[in-house]
């Protein structure tokens, strides 16, 4: 079983739609959580951190459920520019390294 699992998609949605991605992680010792974004043939970049209380950044909302060990990302009012692969990432502080999921691909259509 992979340490971080995501539905690879692709998710094809029209502009303006709301779309949600989920991710599950296997190691209960995971302590920090992130969503990274990766555009085609580009390097990953941090989109947002995910906190237990949930957090919002404009059209993006991230949630963490520690009991069920899953993380979600909600994108409202999708834009064409949101088309990318979204990587779910967990961190165990004692390890110091990030564990990446396979990524979920989003295609926003006009």
Q: Residue 49 burial by CB count (10 A; 0-12/13-18/19+): exposed, middle or buried?
A: middle
| 46 is a contact residue toward other proteins (CB under 8 A) | yes
> Least distance in Å: CB of 77 to other proteins?
26
| 53 is a contact residue toward other proteins (CB under 8 A) | no
> Least distance in Å: CB of 29 to other proteins?
12
| 42 is a contact residue toward other proteins (CB under 8 A) | yes
Tokens matching residue 92:
């165990």
**For residues 55 and 52, what is the distance between their CA atoms, to the nearest angstrom?**
8
| 1 is a contact residue toward other proteins (CB under 8 A) | no
| 86 is a contact residue toward other proteins (CB under 8 A) | no
Whether omega before 10 lies within 30 degrees of 0, making that bond cis, reads yes
């Amino acid at each position: 079983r992979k340490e971080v699992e995501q539905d690879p998609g692709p998710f094809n949605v029209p502009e303006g739609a709301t779309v949600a991605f989920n991710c599950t992680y296997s190691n209960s010792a995971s302590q920090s959580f992130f969503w990274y974004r990766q555009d085609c043939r580009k390097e990953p970049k941090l989109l947002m951190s995910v906190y237990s209380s949930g957090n919002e950044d404009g059209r993006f909302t991230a949630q963490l459920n520690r009991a069920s060990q899953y993380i979600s990302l909600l994108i409202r009012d999708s834009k064409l520019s949101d088309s990318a692969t979204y990587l779910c990432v967990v961190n165990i502080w004692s390890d110091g390294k990030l564990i990446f999921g396979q990524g979920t691909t989003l295609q926003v259509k006009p």
